[in-house]
Every structure is written in C-alpha cells, then in structure tokens.
Chains A and B, each alone.
Chain A
Amino acid sequence: MFETDTGGAQIQLRALTKQFPGQAEPAVDSVDLDIPAGELVAFVGPSGCGKTTTMKMINRLVEPTSGEIRIGGEDVLALPPDELRRHIGYVIQQIGLFPHLTIGENVGLVPKLLGWDRPKAEARTEDLLALVNLEPGEYRDRYPRQLSGGQQQRVGVARALAADPPVMLMDEPFGATDPITREHLQNEFLKLQKDLRKTIIFVTHDFEEAIKLGDRIAVLRNQSHIAQYDTPANILANPADDYVASFIGADATLKRLALMTVDEVPTEGPPDPALPQVETGTSLREALDLMVANGTDRCSSPAGVLSYTALCASIGREEVAAGDR
C-alpha cells in the first residue's frame, strides 16, 4: 500500500463531501485540497466547522458521501478501510492508550496487526520509544496509568509512527496538556518531523500552534470551506479576508516577527559589544523585545548590528520618518 517511500506521500482531496443523515446542510461541503508530500498542514477553524470530519474521512473513520481522496496517487476509497488505517498514523487528543496493555504492547499493536514477526516488532518498539525520548528499558513494561500526561502523549505519537506510515492524522494531539508540557511536546515534535518528513494533517483550534508547527495552514470556515490555504508567513502578511484576520488576532506583525530569525535580516557593520546581544537563531520578536526592554533601537548579533529600521524593512514596512508623523 502506498508504494512510495515512507517519508511522506501527497494527499489530494477532490470535491470531498460529507452529508450526515438527518441534517439539512452537509458537514463538509466539496473540499478541494492538495497537501504536498512531507509537509505538515494545520487545519484551523472554530469547533463544529468540519475540520475533524474532513480529517477523519482520510482514514475513513467517517465515510465520505461523495468526492475523492488520493494518497500518493492511490484511490483511498477503493482500499479496504481496516487495512488502510494500519498505514495511516492516527493521534487523538484523548490519546487513547489501552490501559490493559503495557507501553510496549501499545506501541507494538499495529506492527502485530500487520503480521510483523516478534523480533522485528520488538526492535521497532524500542526504537520508537527512544525516538520520543522515553528510555525503552524503563518504560516498555509500564502501564499507561503509571505515566504522566505528557509521557502518555509521546507514547501516542510513537504508537502512530509504529508501522512507519507515510501519512499521519493528528486531532488536537497536544490540546489536553498544560501550556508548559504542550510547548515542550511541540518542540520535540517539530524536531522529530524535521527528520521524518511525514505528510501530516494536524487539526487544531489554536492558531499559535498552527503557526508554530505548520508548513502550511488551511483556515476553515463552516462546512470546511477553505478561507485561506497558504504558508503561515503569507497568511499573517496577507490575510484573505476579515474572517482570517479575526483568527490571527491583533498582533499579526508580532507573530510574523516570531517566524523569522535575526539571521534573515541584513546587518550594518561589525558586532558591537556595547549593544544588547542576541544569538544566532533568535527570533526577531525576541530581538525586538530586547530592544524595547533596553530602550535602544539597535542590538548586536554575531553577524553584526541589527537596527529597528532593518527589522521593519524585513517584514516589508518602512519606518515612518519622525517628521512625517
């Protein structure tokens, strides 16, 4: 199945529609979307907008009423659903680890369903636990209830990766964790995805999370209509309409600055040890924060001096000269 390599496969949705019986309007109305191989696309929208339903049609937990789904060119609706799901990673907010199975058994379930032999499945389980930063020797034989929420969520991710699926579906996977754990899990996950390059659909109602994790964001309105589908930077710079803008909130520019690093801005002259210092890889938002905090309009990175003017120019804004105000 999906005879592409496991590094990711393109997903194509064509006129995808779901009409639940007894409802006047379709829950998902004729969605067309191309998700490039190896990218993480975040579905963002208010609750009830059909984003989860759209996602669940891809692994056919919800059967589409009409339309087409292709993964790596293959027609998903022509495949046996159970077999299909074994090749699509699935992570849900409630995690859904089986409490009667050990961590190792939970992770090894899909390989077992696929008929892998024992040594191969066990080796895979160990690798995956290590991949999500859980020491296999320590955690393999524990039960889910003996783990913290964050640890359980990591096991959930490991379990979804077990059969090395080209596609992963994630439904608010970090939604139930506290802010600190969530940030931690997001960072770990970003690092993981950098290596794995899976094709991922990530449902969330948290726009910040979408900006942080998504290669692209699909902002959805009712019935899963796509309001805008673009990279985070483009959506922040040019929201398609008021609806999208309302999602971004009042601090769109600050959010854009958070997406860029000091290395992307041209510097003037050599580093100046007298100015506040930022390191390589620091976001422009942090750099701005540092300037405001120190009451200066410049700071220094290892590459040179970074000015407020350059910072504004980097996001396409001219600094308004003092005399024109």
Chain B
Amino acid sequence: MTAETLRAAAAQPTNLRYGKGLRKLITPVAIAIVLAALYVWVGTLQLDSIEQRSLNSAVIIQKAIEHLRLTVVATALVVVIAIPLGVVASRAKNRLITPFILGTANLGQAVPAIGLLVLCTFVMGVGFQTALVGLVAYAVLPVLRNTMVGVQQVDPALIEAARGMGMTKGQVLRRVELKLAVPAILAGLRTSLVLTVGMATMGAFVAAGGFGELIINGLKLQRMPVTIVGGVLTASIAFLVDWLGGLAEDLLKPRGM
C-alpha cells in the first residue's frame, strides 16, 4: 500500500521505465482475467446464506461505489490542499520550512495508517468523514513534498531567462515553474492515489464501507470465500486506479519533456 517511495523516486531522473506502448494494456487485461476467474470460482462454490448475503452483485456494486467515493473525494481534497501548500512552501522566503516538511513526510510514513484512522475515530466517531480525514492526512504529504521539490528543482537558468525576458513573478510561476513541476506533481499524486485506494480498505474498520468490509466480515464470520473475494476486488481496484493514474500521467505531462 505504501507505494510512496516508488513514485517519489520516479520523480527523480532515472532511466528506468516500467512498461510502455502495448504493455499499457497488460494491466486491464490481467484485471479482467482475474475477475473472470474469481467469478467462475465463486460460481462453483455452494454458498451458505451468510455468504450469499455478502456475495451478490448489489452488495459488491455498493461496496465498489463506497470504496471509489472515498478514494476520489480524498484525492480531490489532497489536490486542493497539497498543491497550493507545496507551491507556498517552495517560495524562496519559505525555504526554512523545507527540511521540516521533508522530515515530516519521511516520518509520517512510519505512522501506521490504521493507528491514524482509529485515533480519528476517538475525535469524530465512526463513518465516512472520519475515514476521509484519516486518508487525506495520510495522502497529503507525498503530494505536498513532490510539489515543493518539483518547483524547487526547476533549473535556475530557466527562471533567470524568464525573468530576463520580462515575465512577472506570477507569470514565471504559472508558465514556467508549475508547468515544469507537473511531472513531479503527477508522480506524487499517483503515489497518494495508490496510497488512498489501499487505505480506503481500512475505512471498513471505522464503518466507512468499501471492499475492506468484505475482507473483515469474511474473517469475522469465518467465511473464507467472502474474504478472498474482498481481497481480490481490493487488489483489482488498486491496480485499476494505479493504471488510470499512469494514463493520466502520460496524458497530462507537458510535451517536449
């Protein structure tokens, strides 16, 4: 679930690339095959009444919607919060807080997501909003850090050239710095997206629904098929979201870079 490190490094210039072109189709095809196999496998089982209550299309669709809603809303909030904060933190006069943010981002990784969620529950009770706060708090840092670092990493010569041709500071930020930071920001967003979709599974612990509920109920009621279906669906949705994130990255990246 903590793919943070992976994407954070993807923002660094390495010539390592995982998959392009036709290989882009591998993920959705593999997901489709796994889901089909799961469907066939469940079809061969003799489900008892408890299992039937969880494993029907109405429940699964509802869990999918809950899971995605939590992920999408949390990610949207992360974008709104983290990118402006990252830009503010990147400004020269705020450089002093840079090490603080980087330190918190690194340490924040060690705070267990489940602990954070449960602690939120003590403050806000159980439910969607609690899960949302926990998720956002957890996923804000990678985007904040990548935005800050991405803007700071822009070649000073480009900024000098921009200033030298008469761009205002605002124009330099909008037309040069932010544009060139887009790959790093997108990488951070994809990290936090994968983080969020994984952590949304734990939303079930605080009664926020999602596929995690199938996993937990299956274990509680000792119905392995339910747990396995929950696990496979959770993994599938994570791969799907990551894949969509990758597509978005390719699409939104400025050309020429």
A-to-B contact residues, CB < 8 Å: 59, 61, 82-87, 90, 92, 94-102, 109-110, 113, 143-145, 159-160, 169
Q: Are B160 and A96 in contact (CB under 8 A)?
A: yes
Residue B96, interface by CB 8 Å: no
Q: Are A100 and B254 in contact (CB under 8 A)?
A: yes
CA distance A90 to B257 in the complex (A): 24
Q: Chain A residue with minimal CB distance to B156? A: A94
Q: Are A94 and B254 in contact (CB under 8 A)?
A: no
Residue B255, interface by CB 8 Å: yes
With most chain A CB atoms within 10 A of its CB, the pick from B160, B162, B166, B167 is B166
Q: What are 15 residue pairs bridging A and B, where the CB atoms are less than 8 Å apart in the complex? A: A61-B160, A61-B164, A82-B166, A82-B167, A85-B164, A90-B164, A94-B157, A95-B157, A98-B158, A99-B257, A109-B165, A143-B256, A143-B257, A144-B256, A145-B257
Q: Are B166 and A84 in contact (CB under 8 A)?
A: yes
Q: Chain B residue with minimal CB distance to A159? A: B165
With most chain A CB atoms within 10 A of its CB, the pick from B164, B179, B180 is B164
Question: Which of chain B's residues 148-169 have a Cβ closer than 8 Å to chain A?
Answer: 155, 157-158, 160-168
Q: Are A100 and B255 in contact (CB under 8 A)?
A: yes
CA distance A215 to B255 in the complex (A): 42
Residue B171, interface by CB 8 Å: yes
Q: Are B158 and A110 in contact (CB under 8 A)?
A: no
- Which B residues touch A100, using CB under 8 A? 179-180, 254-257
- Which A residues touch B155, using CB under 8 A? 94, 96
- Which B residues touch A109, using CB under 8 A? 165
- Which B residues touch A101, using CB under 8 A? 256
Q: Are A59 and B255 in contact (CB under 8 A)?
A: no
Residue B38, interface by CB 8 Å: no
Q: Are B256 and A99 in contact (CB under 8 A)?
A: yes
- Which B residues touch A99, using CB under 8 A? 180, 256-257
CA distance A215 to B157 in the complex (A): 28
Q: Chain B residue with minimal CB distance to A160? A: B165
How many chain B residues touch A (CB < 8 A): the figure is 20
Q: Are A102 and B166 in contact (CB under 8 A)?
A: no
State how many angstroms separate the Cβ of B18 from the closest Cβ of chain A.
22
A sample of 20 more A-B contacts (CB under 8 A), given A96-B157, A100-B257, is A59-B164, A61-B160, A83-B166, A85-B163, A86-B166, A87-B166, A92-B161, A96-B160, A96-B164, A100-B254, A100-B256, A109-B165, A110-B166, A113-B165, A113-B167, A113-B171, A143-B257, A145-B257, A160-B165, A169-B164
Q: Are A90 and B168 in contact (CB under 8 A)?
A: no
State how many angstroms separate the Cβ of B123 from the closest Cβ of chain A.
43
Q: Are A86 and B176 in contact (CB under 8 A)?
A: no
Q: Are B254 and A113 in contact (CB under 8 A)?
A: no
CA distance A101 to B176 in the complex (A): 9
- Which B residues touch A84, using CB under 8 A? 166
Q: Chain A residue with minimal CB distance to B176? A: A98
The 9 nearest A-B residue pairs measured at CB: A96-B161, A143-B256, A86-B166, A85-B166, A94-B157, A90-B164, A100-B254, A96-B157, A82-B168
Q: Are B164 and A110 in contact (CB under 8 A)?
A: no
Q: Are A102 and B256 in contact (CB under 8 A)?
A: yes
State how many angstroms separate the Cβ of B191 from the closest Cβ of chain A.
22
State how many angstroms separate the Cβ of A109 from the closest Cβ of chain B.
6
- Which B residues touch A102, using CB under 8 A? 256
CA distance A86 to B180 in the complex (A): 22
State how many angstroms separate the Cβ of A139 from the closest Cβ of chain B.
13
CA distance A230 to B40 in the complex (A): 90
- Which B residues touch A169, using CB under 8 A? 164
Q: Chain B residue with minimal CB distance to A56? A: B164
